[in-house]
Chains A and B, each alone.
Chain A
Amino acid sequence: MKSILEQKLRLVPQRLIVFAIIILIAFFIMFVRLFQLQIIKGASYRKVSEENRTQITFTQAPRGNIFDNDGKLLVGNKPSFTLTFTPDFFSRDLSISRVSEKLSYFLKTDSQKLLKNLEQANLYPFKSSRIKTDIDRDVAFYISERHNEFPGFSIQVEPIRDYKYLDFASHVIGYMGEISRDQMFKLETEIYRMGDLIGKSGVERVHDALIRGKDGGTAIEVSAAGKQVRVLQHINSQRGNDVMLSIDFELQRIAEEVMGNKHGSIVFIDPSSGAIRALVSKPDFDPNVFLRPLESEQARYLLRSNDKPLFNRATQAQYAPGSVFKIITAIAALEEGVLSPKDTFECTGEFKVGKQERIFRCWKEEGHKKVNMIKGLGESCDVYFYNVGLMLSRGTLPRYARYFGLGDETGIDLPGEKKGIVPDRAWKKKLLNEGWWDGDTVNMSIGQGYLWVTPLQMANLVAAVANGGDVWQPYLVKEIISPDGKILQETEPKLKRKITIKPDTWKVIKEGMRYAVTKGTAQAVNMRKLPIAAKTGTAENPQGEDHAWFAGYAPFDKPELAFVVFVEHGGHGGVVAAPIAREILDRYYGLEEQKKAVDTREVRD
């Protein structure tokens, strides 16, 4: 035999030995490893495999309800139907692809995609995998009634958020979305799991931890065949806490209706506490759509369109306050004692400033003739306030503006509130590297120029006028109530600042605002049954149509509500914003008064 090898075989004999040894070593290592795994470590692996027999399923906790000020349910939960599939229960006699085709017809999904999901589920034959969430009720019943046609499929009922009035108060309530990786990281608490829905804006976001409740779960021991042997532990899910808002359902509803599809915002605030009674931002959105995957059209509109429906125009949009700011200018002048309310200026329709004699015009071209402070406020005479502004020492106007809370957050319990800007010499130097000119003062005295405020800030300002100097921290959440009815958190109205100015000053301002309603630019709200004090405003907008402001309070003697109506690109406050306020108040108080014809040329502010 050896001779054959030598004669015929060109394979190198020593190499065959090396070759055999290498393969032998490889197999020897395999044997050793097998021995190590099964004999030496076998017992500990056996233990691990037994622990693997515990299956944990979570049950989602229902979120707390959200109510309005009177306990009307605004946001609750409704049962949603989730289709699950446990491959082990599927029948051998059926074709899975045919069943998936049939299902995809009912679920209106792509059958190939569905089949892929089912095949994915098949990796774990004894686990029930979620195939589709939030399916239609009819389809859910159809499937659950036909066990034979769809073996292994079952319908689970899970709570899903139900925004009962769709886009009602959507910027207050907020919407939900899947928790992001960043949020998981930041929150660092154990109550959130990947894939959870979390409040993304509004009250849903601010109080998410209190609203969401605690998920329950069941630990089940399963047999080798995957059948449930016994329940090791069961924890019931705990419903989240309820939230009671300060929002008045009727007022909010009327305000939203009257605003219609104009862009802008409306804020109604209780001047005795800072409680927000209505907060409208238009365009708005329906939070329900965020509970399902967004269709591309929807997503484009909600997230990228110029309408910016998610943007809260009451707290996040910043504009020049226009003539509403004249309230501050007037208060500053009276408090600093630079003039008496009776002092008059002659308004010729224009005003010259500085050596270049730059011309600043009044909104009324022919002029207001002789104007004192009450008439100045009421007819919103620009020339009167140009004069007043220049009489004040520099820095006085910004000081008073800040005193009333402009340039700072109001502290409302909503995320992302903007501060606005109160410009002064230092600000202008830093930002534009320019000095502060008299022209800047003149502009600022009528609320134009670099001044930026949010509608909520203006509402809070008129509330302080109405109540005689109390600057409250506005709030939306009145109470948080546990599922068993205990009040966990009650919002105490928080006085941010008490404005101490002479009572006479308040009186002049209020009379000026009343004059505006009876004889001035705010005549649109001159109602017989409800005395109102108000101030119109127009924010000049070099890019397009001016923005319309209207701020005021009612009733005049015993204020219950302070309000702001803001219409983006609306035009003049007295022409556009005031009628909106009129209609809301008329309907809210059930006055049913005839609308008065107003000469729009007289109220173009």
Chain B
Amino acid sequence: MARVGETSRFDYLLFVAMIASCVIGLSILVSYMWRTVVAGSYLFIWKQMIAFSIGLTGALLLAYVDYRHLKKYAPIIYVVFMTLLFLVLIFGKVARGARSWFSIGPFSFQPSEFMALAYIIFLAWYIELQQKWEGIKQFAVSGLITLLPMGLILLQPDFGTSLVFIAIFLGMVYLGGAQLGYILSLVIAGAIASFISLFLTFAQLKYTVPGSHRLGNAIAATFSSNNNIITFLFVVFLVLVLCYFAIRKFYRNFSFANVVYAFVPILLGVMGATGIQGFLKGYQRQRLIAFLEPTLDPLGVGYNIIQSKIAIGSGKFLGKGILSGTQSQLGFLPEQHTDFIFAVIGEELGFVGAGLVLFLLCLIIWRGIVISTQARDTFGGLLAAGIVCMFAFHAVINIGMVMGIMPVVGVPLPLISYGGSSLIAHMLAIGVLLSVSYRRYMY
């Protein structure tokens, strides 16, 4: 084993990608604030700058400290942030319809953004602690570790932020070696549950006249109409089911019992669909499917999607230039500095700029995967894997949403969207990645 030089031990590529993303985000924020008159728009910039400084310091500090120290503190970190999530429900400030913020003077702090990182550390610690995946115990305990923070965040209620835990959970237990059967069962159950409930909402919205409840007709009409997205979703669903059976066969323990067993996730999914129907409010379900056909709700969420697609599309190859995007400058775009920031980038900087952002995020994720494979222990590998999941989920959901191919779920674009807590949390995560990378050859 050849020793690698000091310089290459620090992952400069990852570090540079992080700084570049932050700089792009800050520039867009400055240009947005330039033309708005929100009270104290300078304050927004200052707050973001301060958050950036804190994040940078924290990231470098974490990179410098051996990540293995985190192992000792993993349960404490998890408990502390769970407590904070609990307290925010009582003492938190309500903004944008959710009780998610502690406000301290001019600053506010959103514990749910940090919870994801705390949860990754704790789950990595737990999985490493287990010697084997025996029976359903480890899988179930991991699931419980996931559901606790998710539940608290759903109570705020912040649907978007809670979803990232599912992505991280699936990624970490998959790479951590959990039984494929459990994971696939869960995925299939989830797919069925969300498919059924969202599909029903879509069909109701599109094909039922208010007052009539002929859902059967609506479903028939949906299939007869040549809506490619519905067909696409259905195909995806079928492929998932087929994969499931194929994999089970591949493992050569296919039996009649397994066929029966295969119905369990489907049953769970159908039951889950009822749960989703009950838990999500009508408008939330509408939001989730508005991307399928934004014209159904052209003045609500659909409006935002239509306008953001126009913004991105009209940027063409080179963009309209900073401060010249008509869609963003004339106020057709909502939430330009937070959830829809990618649309502003697409409009003003074109394919070049938006592509660069995608590339930078891709780079970070690629480095994350490499670091995960090179990590010197399971804990480090899982930490990196969880962080990769967090970045990938946020990036894909956010960018997919503004481009109209993902549901409207309020998640930030990592490192770029305005929001101090999210910025710091993601920068700290990069710090952890850097630390794992830095110590890959240490024993």
Are A and B associated in one complex?
A: yes
Within 8 Å by CB of A31, from B358, B369, B385, lies B358
Count of A-B residue pairs with CB < 8 Å = 181
Given the known inter-chain contacts A30-B396, A92-B37, A122-B38, please indicate yes or no for A37 contacting B376, CB distance below 8 A: no
| Interface pair A27/B358, CB less than 8 Å apart | yes
**Distance of A123 Cα from B152 Cα, bound (Å):** 31
* Closest chain A residue to B39, Cβ basis: A96
Closest partner residue, chain A, to B391 (CB atom) = A23
Among A11, A19, A39, A45, residue most surrounded by chain B Cβ atoms (within 10 Å) = A11
Interface of B is mostly: helix
A432 at the interface (CB under 8 A from B): no
Which 7 A-B pairs rank lowest in CB-CB distance, beginning with the nearest? A45-B313, A49-B314, A124-B331, A42-B316, A96-B39, A90-B37, A46-B314
> In the bound complex, how far is the Cα of B329 from the Cα of A225, in angstroms?
6
Give the contacts of A1-29 with B (CB-CB under 8 A): 1, 3-5, 8-13, 15-16, 18-20, 23, 26-27, 29
**Complex alpha-carbon distance, A50 and B316, angstroms:** 13
Inter-chain contacts of A4 with B (CB < 8 A): 1, 374, 376
Q: How far is the CB of A62 from chain B (nearest CB, A)?
A: 29
A19 touches B326 (CB 8 A): no
From the candidates B331, B369, B377, name the one contacting A125 in the complex (CB within 8 A). Answer: B331
Alpha-carbon distance between A12 and B403 when the two chains are bound, in angstroms: 34
Most buried by B among A15, A37, A44: A37
Number of A residues near B (Cβ < 8 Å) is 58
**Residue contact A123 to B311, C-beta cutoff 8 Å:** no
Q: How far is the CB of A194 from chain B (nearest CB, A)?
A: 11
| Interchain residue pairs with CB less than 8 A apart (18) | A18-B174, A19-B385, A26-B392, A30-B395, A31-B358, A34-B358, A42-B313, A43-B316, A46-B316, A48-B310, A49-B311, A52-B332, A87-B37, A90-B37, A95-B40, A96-B37, A127-B331, A224-B325
Chain A contacts for B320, CB-based, 8 A:
224
User: Which segment of B113-121, B143-151, B278-286, B346-354 sits at the interface?
Assistant: B346-354
A395 at the interface (CB under 8 A from B): no
A130 at the interface (CB under 8 A from B): no
Q: A4-B374, A11-B381 are in contact. List 10 more A-B contacts (CB 8 A).
A: A8-B378, A9-B378, A10-B381, A11-B382, A19-B369, A26-B396, A29-B400, A31-B358, A34-B351, A39-B351
A126 engages B369 (CB within 8 Å): no
Would you call B123 an interface residue if the criterion is a C-beta within 8 Å of the partner chain's C-beta atoms?
no
Contact A123 B334 (CB under 8 A): yes
B381 and A222 contact, CB distance less than 8 A: no
Cβ-based interface call for B136 (8 A): no
B380-418 CB contacts (< 8 Å) to partner A: 381-382, 385, 388, 392, 395-396, 399-400, 403, 405
Q: Let me know if A48 and B381 touch, CB within 8 A.
A: no
Cα A96 to Cα B325 in complex, Å, equals: 26
The reply to whether B309 and A37 contact each other, CB–CB distance below 8 Å, is: yes
User: How far is A527 from B313 in the complex, measured between Cα atoms in Å?
Assistant: 87
Q: Which of A20, A44, A50 touches B369 (beta carbons < 8 Å)?
A: A20
Max count, chain B CB within 10 A of own CB: residue among A45, A97, A122, A222 = A45
With the chains together, A125 CA to B33 CA distance in Å? 11
Q: Does A541 contact B (CB under 8 A)?
A: no
Tell me if B330 counts as interface (CB < 8 A to partner A).
yes
Tell me, rounded to whole Å, the shortest Cβ–Cβ distance linking A131 to chain B: 14
B327 A49 Cβ-Cβ under 8 A: yes
Contact for B175 among A15, A29, A225, CB less than 8 A: A15
Determine the residue in chain B with the shortest Cβ distance to A10.
B378
When C-beta atoms are compared, the residue in chain B nearest to A16 turns out to be B373
Q: Indicate if A207 sits at the interface (CB-CB under 8 A).
A: no
In A417-440, the 8 Å CB interface with B consists of none
Do residues A11 and B403 form an inter-chain contact, with CB atoms below 8 A? no
Cβ of B35 and Cβ of A88 under 8 Å apart?
Answer: yes
* B344 CB-CB contact with A under 8 Å: no
Query: A122 vs B372: C-alpha distance in the bound complex, in angstroms?
Result: 45
A38 and B332 CA atoms in complex are apart in Å by: 18
What number of B residues sit within 8 Å (CB to CB) of A? 65
Query: A38, B37: Cβ atoms under 8 Å?
Result: no
In the complex, the answer to whether B354 meets A27 with C-beta atoms within 8 Å is no
Say whether A97 contacts B39, CB under 8 Å. yes
The answer to whether the Cβ of B312 comes within 8 Å of any Cβ in the partner chain is yes
Give Cα distance in the complex from A225 to B326, angstroms: 7
Decide yes or no whether A152 CB sits under 8 A from chain B: yes
Which B residues lie within 8 Å of A48 (CB)? 310, 313-314
- Across the two chains, which residue of chain B brings its CB closest to A9? B381
**Contacting pair B36 A125 (CB below 8 A):** yes
What residues of B have a CB within 8 angstroms of the CB of A12 in the complex? Answer: 175, 177
A49 touches B37 (CB 8 A): no
Whether A41 pairs with B313 at a CB distance below 8 angstroms is yes
Q: Which of A209-231 contact B (CB under 8 A)?
A: 222, 224-226
Q: Which of A5, A44, A96 contacts B373 (CB 8 A)?
A: A5
Whole-angstrom distance from the CB of A581 to the nearest CB of chain B? 53
**CB closest chain-B residue, reference A20:** B369
Contact A34:B373 (CB < 8 A) given known A87-B36, A222-B330, A224-B329: no
> Shortest distance in angstroms between B276's beta carbon and chain A's nearest beta carbon?
23
Is A33 among interface residues, defined by CB-CB distance under 8 A?
A: yes
* A46–B313 CB distance below 8 A: yes
Which residues of A have CB within 8 Å of B347?
A: 49
CA distance A123 to B329 in the complex (A): 10
Interface members, chain A 501-560 (any B CB < 8 Å): none
Q: Does B22 contact A (CB under 8 A)?
A: no
Point out the residues of chain B lying under 8 angstroms from A33, CB to CB: 400, 403, 405
A35 close to chain B: CB less than 8 A? yes
Any B CB within 8 A of the CB of A53: yes
Closest A residue to B312 using CB positions: A37
Question: Contact at A35–B351, with CB atoms within 8 Å?
Answer: yes
Give Cα A20–Cα B375 distance, bound, in whole angstroms: 16
Interface assignment of B298: CB less than 8 Å from any CB of chain A: no
Point out the residue from A9, A30, A38, A45 that lies within 8 Å of B399, measured CB to CB. Answer: A30
B interface footprint on A279-303 (CB within 8 Å = 1, 0 otherwise): 0000000000000000000000000
Separation in Å of the B409 CB from the closest CB of chain A? 15
**Complex Cα–Cα for A39 and B334 (A):** 24
B388 pairs with A23, CB closer than 8 A = yes
Q: Which of A10, A45, A125 touches B309 (beta carbons < 8 Å)?
A: A45
B216 close to chain A: CB less than 8 A: no
Q: Which B residues touch A8, using CB under 8 A?
A: 376-378
Task: Report the bound CA distance from A119 to B95 in whole Å.
Answer: 13
From B39, B311, B327, B334, name the one whose CB has the most chain A CB atoms within 10 angstroms.
Answer: B39
- Cross-chain contact B326 with A224 (CB below 8 angstroms): yes
Are B317 and A16 in contact, with the CB atoms below 8 A?
no
On whether A38 and B346 interact (CB within 8 A), knowing A49-B310, A52-B326, A123-B331, the answer reads yes
Residues of A within 8 A of B376 (CB): 4, 8
CA distance A123 to B338 in the complex (A): 13
Contact of A10 among B176, B361, B403 (CB under 8 A): B176
The minimal Cβ–Cβ distance linking A151 to chain B, given in whole angstroms, is 9
Contacts of B403 in A (CB 8 A): 30, 33-34, 37
Residues 385-402 of A contacting B (Cβ, < 8 Å): none
User: Which residue of the partner chain, among A39, A119, A226, contacts B330 with CB atoms under 8 Å?
Assistant: A226
Interchain CB contact under 8 A, A19 and B312: no
Cβ of B355 within 8 Å of any chain A Cβ, yes or no, is yes
Known: A10-B378, A16-B175, A53-B330. A152 touches B37 (CB 8 A): yes
Does B265 reach chain A (CB closer than 8 Å)? Answer: no
Give A152 to B307 CA distance when docked, in angstroms: 26
The closest CB in chain B to the CB of A86 belongs to B37
Find chain B residues with CB under 8 A from A224 CB: 320, 323-326, 329-330
Q: Is the CB of A31 within 8 A of B175?
A: no
Asked if B341 lies at the interface with its beta carbon under 8 angstroms from chain A, I say: no
Q: Is the CB of A38 within 8 A of B331?
A: no
Are the CB atoms of A38 and B175 closer together than 8 Å?
A: no
Q: A52: nearest residue on chain B (CB-CB)?
A: B332
Cα–Cα, bound, A224→B314 (Å): 13
* CB atoms of B330 and A126 under 8 A apart: yes
Q: Taking each of B40, B175, B377, B395, which has the highest tally of chain A beta carbons within 10 Å of its own beta carbon?
A: B175
B327 with A9: CB separation less than 8 A: no
- A300, B200: Cα distance in complex, Å: 42
Closest to A41 in B: B313
